[in-house]
Chains A and B, each alone.
Chain A
């Protein structure tokens, strides 16, 4: 892998994001893209955790939900400013992530998967059971969640939502790319490759694992807040076990170990069901089948698969070069 400039793909991506609304005029499709943006935020964090640090989390929808509920309750019931509520949500999530992550991340493999899964379910039960706070199974209905205001614009239309969500995403993406290509990113990847060796090099692996868990939780919480202000209604349903699995699937489909893959995976798994709407109820069936297929035949994800292909193609001239040198 050559040392690549991270800003060139970023600039290309920036152009695509900025220009997309010129081609997508239909507000419905724009809405789908807003959702892609929101989910990309979650999968980016999860990709840091899974693809870079090599840890599994099957409870990330809980962090997503915590952000959404924090925003809903603090703006609706307590009449806080949306921005303050968003920050508070991120803070709460970070604390919970620290509290849960510290003991969880000592576990490995299946145990870690089960622990995070159990945590996710508990949070979901909390959303369902605390009717006075969350509205219970029917969702938060005590007040309408307000629109968010950015400087002087109220984020109301699909177009403004699009620019708002993707604008935030772009900022976070840049920060994330910086983290990956830094001392922290290297430390995370060293944990993935070999924890014992990483510690032997002086990397405090436990601290880094919890750190990245908290960070990915904060991403999810931020996405949850954006979701709450965009949909303007929250119910426990979209923050359950299935959603956690869906998030992990997005990361895997996109290809682990690539932030771009996380965005691509989110896009694919949001757009595909929309395209397959006429299957209605059977999407659970199709979804299971897709997941199984990918795990069986393409465990590297779409990006991984295409990268492998690319490497194969590149290798051929490379071999000739070596032959000449020799």
Chain B
């Protein structure tokens, strides 16, 4: 579960870094990924890998459309407008999904066969866990390579650092914004696709993914990818512990409480330091 938050948090970071926008529809990308995966794999019975790729591409395209249709046309929007637009988009996505897929909860079997588990020192761990961790690992490695070694990645980091300067250096900042939405939606889609076998796909699940992912992003210091991954994992473990030792009712409340606590006490997050200065930008 923590990995999913980590992935969602990465999605927040990418858009935030490129645009300074917090995308409230981030959770819907995860939900969409999950729904589509359930549809392609369980209903159409496409091969896993093919289904996965198609899902990720589709969700990424939705991200692209969101940027083109809603964010791009705005000139000097206020924060309130941005918040409400991404919320409106998330409601719309939710509505469309419900309209097409219905209200039922969808599921599918584990990637490596129905309910397979691995015995690890007495605890039975579902094989899907490893798939999820694997995807997280691949995404993190991919992002590291992308941001550090490719030209486009470097350009995006430049944008994050100073948008005006970047655009003066000839970097097409507009296209970078577009691409950041594409990338972050793709990551959200991946997260959704791998989570289906464990937590089912439900058209209403987006909001929770979103806010917990944001919690992880803030926890780890907004804009800090390493922090996001660690914080996401910590949050997942905390959540499992609450469910186990306290009350399953409050397992959703815990990440929220952590989010509030971090916001109140140290808005720059556990691993953030320079991010504190960025707060002032708002």
Q: Which B residues touch A114, using CB under 8 A?
A: 22, 211, 214, 218, 259, 263
- Whether the pair B263, A111 counts as a contact (CB closer than 8 A) is yes
Which A94-137 residues sit within 8 Å CB-CB of chain B? 103-104, 106-111, 113-115, 117-119, 121-122, 125-126, 128-129
Q: How far is the CB of B191 from chain A (nearest CB, A)?
A: 19
Q: Which B residues touch A109, using CB under 8 A?
A: 79, 282
- Whether the pair B92, A295 counts as a contact (CB closer than 8 A) is no
Q: A287-B91, A289-B92, A296-B70 are in contact. Are A118 and B250 (CB under 8 A)?
A: no
Q: How many residues of B contact A (CB 8 A)?
A: 47
Q: A104-B264, A121-B211 are in contact. Are A56 and B83 (CB under 8 A)?
A: yes
Contact of A118 among B73, B87, B91, B260 (CB under 8 A): B260
B89 within 8 A of A: yes
Q: How many residues of A contact B (CB 8 A)?
A: 42
The 8 A CB mask of B7-43 against A (1 = contact, 0 = none) is 0000000000000011010000000000000000000
Q: Is the interface of A mostly helix, strand, loop or mixed?
A: helix
Which B256-281 residues sit within 8 Å CB-CB of chain A? 256-257, 259-260, 263-264, 267, 279
| Bound form: Cα–Cα A50–B85 in Å | 16
| Bound form: Cα–Cα A104–B265 in Å | 10
Q: How far is the CB of B32 from chain A (nearest CB, A)?
A: 14
Q: How far is the CB of B90 from chain A (nearest CB, A)?
A: 8
| Bound form: Cα–Cα A58–B96 in Å | 23
Residue of B24, B83, B90 with most chain A CB atoms under a 10 A cut-off: B83
Chain B positions within 8 Å of A, measured between CB atoms, are 21-22, 24, 70, 73-74, 77-85, 87-96, 98-99, 103, 207, 211, 214-215, 218, 247, 249-250, 252-253, 256-257, 259-260, 263-264, 267, 279, 282
Chain A positions within 8 Å of B, measured between CB atoms, are 50, 56, 58, 103-104, 106-111, 113-115, 117-119, 121-122, 125-126, 128-129, 241-242, 245, 248-249, 252, 281-282, 284-289, 291-292, 295-296, 299
